[in-house]
Amino acid sequence: MYNDLEKILFTEEQIQTRIKEIAAQIDKDYAGETPVVVGILKGCFMFFADLVRQMKTNIEIDFMSISSYGNNTKSSGEVKMIKDLDRTIEGRHVIIIEDIIDTGYTLKYLMTTLSARNPKSIKLCTLLDKKSRREVDISPDYVCFDVGDEFVVGYGLDYAQLYRNLPVIGVLKESVYKK
């Protein structure tokens, strides 16, 4: 797997250090509350698990699954729900956990869909933010790391469903997807 990486952007240690900071910030912001932490599958799975285990606030967890790009490295702008939440979020504080915000279409769709259910609040937490590629107006409340316009994999993020189990985040070699 490591042979397919152009370079490593964030090591396991860097990721965990940053996650502790973000968890502390969220704990501070939600003191005395019991937010519903919503993970967007599958990309969030490692980040979600590491983040919530650093949080000291009482939380409930739930998951949604949203269709991504198939095997492409660029967003189609088309978003489809594969799995909805199990429970209602009406009157609840909601924190959405994403792996990466690219064009922003996925989150725009999610924010619109979830806002319509009358939660008390919705905030957005993302592992990575690819700001330069944004096409719609979405700005996350918590960001672990900014990344440039490069295709990244690992720590939950995939290319064609591979590399999710890499413990680091790295840039995928172009030769891997330009065959």
Token readout for 37 is 């932490």
> H-helix or E-strand containing 95?
strand 93-101
Q: How far is the CB of 39 from ligand IMP (least distance, A)?
A: 11
Please state, in angstroms and rounded to a whole number, the distance separating the CA atoms of residues 7 and 66. Answer: 28
Using CB under 6 A, pick the residue from 26, 55, 101, 166 that binds ligand IMP. Answer: 101
Pattern of binders to Mg ion over 45-84, x per CB under 5 A? -----------------------x----------------
Please state, in angstroms and rounded to a whole number, the distance separating the CA atoms of residues 118 and 145. Answer: 30
Token readout for 41 is 């599958």
Mark whether 146 is an active-site residue.
no
- Binding of ligand IMP by 166 (CB under 6 A): no
Using CB under 6 A, pick the residue from 48, 92, 94, 106 that binds ligand IMP. Answer: 106
Cβ closer to Mg ion: 68 or 126? 68
Q: How far is CA 10 from the centre of its chain?
A: 15
Please state, in angstroms and rounded to a whole number, the distance separating the CA atoms of residues 106 and 133. Answer: 13
Token readout for 114 is 């979830």
- Binding of ligand IMP by 157 (CB under 6 A): yes
Q: How far is the CB of 38 from Mg ion (least distance, A)?
A: 17
Residue 33's contacts (CB-CB under 8 Å, 6 or more residues apart) are 57, 93
- Binding of Mg ion by 106 (CB under 5 A): no
Which stretches of the chain bind Mg ion, using CB under 5 A? 68
Return the active site residues.
102
Which stretches of the chain bind ligand IMP, using CB under 6 A? 43, 68, 75, 98-106, 130, 151-153, 157
